[in-house]
Amino acid sequence: MSKNKLFIQTLKGIPSERVPFWFMRQAGRYLPEYMKLRKEAGSFLDLCYNPEFATEVTLQPLRRFNMDAAILFSDILVVPHALGQDLAFKTGEGPVLTPVDNLEKFKALSMEGFHEHLSPVYETVSNLSKKLPDHVALIGFAGAPWTVATYMVNGKGSKDQAETRLMAYQDRATFEKLIDLLVQSTSEYLIRQADHGAEALQIFDSWSGTLPADEFIKWCIEPMQKIVQNIRAVHPEIPIIGFPKGAGAKIRNYVNKTKVDGVSIDTSTSTSWVRNVIQPLCAVQGNLDPLLLVSGGAALEKAVYHILDHLKEGPHIFNLGHGIVPQTPPENVKLVSDIILNYRR
Ligand code: 1CP
């Protein structure tokens, strides 16, 4: 069944007349129906761990916009939570964790009970695989080890990941152990999502852009290589998308070494470069500026056509360069969806 879905075909490099699309963070705070369920659930984590609510929230954007894919509703930080790290989401503050910044704290983490903790997520994946419309593909996801580690080490989001970059220089042995644990746990987590019905997997390396080139190879490319190999050993056919945000020209080496089926392209990367250098290697996804979805108008339409026209010769999934922001008017999302649905290559 998966085989016939436009989104999956594109990731396999099969050309189509219409361009498939979905939007990162397509479920979330810009939708009033999300806000309503979010309030009912209590906390954000209660929403993530409630299969009935998480299923419903995943389906909400599809009822409005007819995307080609739905992404499991969860968060990248459920992995450290399942490894035993404290986690809370504070309103207006984002995630708060007890930092794991030395060997002793690292040793308190464990895979014991990991899958049991995540069983509500697996149940959500199973629910969704039964409920999605026939043409819609189900994307499972996780954070990449480096990006997840930046939250684990610092205990919250940060502007330039300075604390984590420092730990990687100052206590390299412990940091390497942390990355290895994340490779292992993330691989198993994604394999279970595939077991439960995920048809494609996306791995978010949102903060890969602040690493020097050698560190990017060590902490982003090498862990991703291992994760892809681990998944393919069990699920050889499932398409895998990487998102090395901010990696710029390093995307080429990332794709060549990790052997991903698709790569998500951030807003700062030029579509001409992507067409010439990346599209011959794999499918590309992206890369509208999420702020154009806020501003709307002629600038938005022009940018959408620019991306469609520039990437029409190779495999392309239309998406944003990063997630939808809360102040986005849903009617602008509708406008972009309609343009893409009517566009023919
Ligand atoms: O208040 C709320 O309702 C919480 C807002 C929210 C939502 C809707 C958070 C908190 N996470 C999510 C869902 C989510 N997160 C999804 C599934 C929904 C979808 O895409 O439709 C996904 C794929 C993520 C992934 C995620 N979480 C990433 C990687 C992608 C990216 O945006 O770069 C990251 C870095 C996080 C961490 C996170 N989760 C939430 C916050 C506020 C943060 C911190 C972000 C930061 O440090 O800037």
Question: Atom of ligand 1 at shortest distance to CA of 202?
Answer: 23
Question: Domain limits at 78?
Answer: 23-283
Rg of the chain, C-alpha, whole Å = 19
Task: Give me the residue label for tokens 């951030």.
Answer: 266
Q: How confident is the model at residue 320 (pLDDT cuts 50, 70, 90)?
A: very high
Is a pLDDT exceeding 80 seen at residue 50?
A: yes
Residue 1 confidence (pLDDT)? 66
For ligand 1, pick from 23, 55, 73, 75 the residue to mutate: most ligand atoms within 8 Å of CB: 75
Residues 306-328 have a mean pLDDT of: 98
The protein residue with its alpha carbon nearest to ligand 1, atom 40, reads 94
Please tell me which residue, 90 or 272, carries the higher pLDDT value: 272
Q: Is 205 a catalytic residue?
A: no
Q: Is residue 313 part of a domain?
A: no
Give the Cα-Cα-Cα angle 115, 141, 91 (nearest 5 degrees).
Answer: 85
Does the C-beta of 27 come closer than 6 Å to ligand 1? yes
Rounded Cα gap, residues 342 and 321, in angstroms: 21
Which atom in ligand 1 lies closest to the alpha carbon of residue 38? 3
Tell me: pLDDT of 109 over 70. yes
- The contacts of residue 339 (CB under 8 Å, 6+ apart) are 301, 304, 305, 308
Tokens representing 271? 């579509």
Q: Give the percent of the chain with pLDDT over 70.
A: 100
CATH value at residue 29: 3.20.20.210
Nearest CA to ligand 1 atom 19: 25
pLDDT for 128-168, tens place per residue?
999 999 999 999 999 999 999 999 999 999 999 999 999 99
CA distance 255 to 263: 7
The rounded distance, in Å, linking the Cα atoms of 329 and 297 is: 12
Domain assignment of residue 165, yes or no: yes
Ligand 1 mean position to 233 CA, how many Å? Answer: 29
Task: Tell me the average pLDDT of the chain.
Answer: 97
**Furthest CA-CA distance within the chain:** 57
Catalytic residue among 29, 64, 252, 275: 29
- Sequence letter at residue 107: K
235 within domain boundaries: yes
Characterize 74-86 residue by residue with b for buried, 16 or more Cβ atoms within 10 angstroms of its Cβ, and e for exposed: bbbbbbbbbbebe
In a domain, 1, yes or no: no
Q: What percentage of the chain has pLDDT greater than the value 90?
A: 97
Number of domains forming the structure of the chain: 1
Question: What gap in Å lies between CA 207 and CA 210, rounded to an integer?
Answer: 6
Is position 3 within any domain?
no
342 located within any domain: no
pLDDT tens, residue by residue, 231-267: 999 999 999 999 999 999 999 999 999 999 999 999 9
Residue type, 244: P
Give pLDDT tens digits for 284-298. Answer: 999 999 999 999 999
Catalytic residue among 49, 68, 75, 122: 75
Could you tell me the pLDDT band of residue 3, with boundaries at 50, 70 and 90?
confident
pLDDT confidence bin for 183, thresholds 50/70/90: very high
Q: Is the CB of 73 under 6 A from ligand 1?
A: yes
Q: What pLDDT does residue 182 have? A: 98
Look at residue 242 and give its three-state secondary structure. strand
In a domain, 256, yes or no: yes
Span from the CA of 77 to the centroid of ligand 1 (angstroms): 9
What token pair was written down for 254?
A: 């990332």
Q: Is the pLDDT of residue 173 over 70?
A: yes
User: What tens digit of pLDDT does each residue of 58-102 get?
Assistant: 999 999 999 999 999 999 999 999 999 999 998 878 999 999 999
Can you list the positions of beta strands (E) in 125-260?
A: 137-143, 200-205, 240-244
Rounded alpha-carbon distances, angstroms, from residue 226 to 148, 236, 307: 16, 14, 32
Active-site residue, 29 included: yes
Whether 345 shows a pLDDT value over 80: the answer reads yes
In a domain, 336, yes or no: no
Q: Is the CB of 323 under 6 A from ligand 1?
A: yes
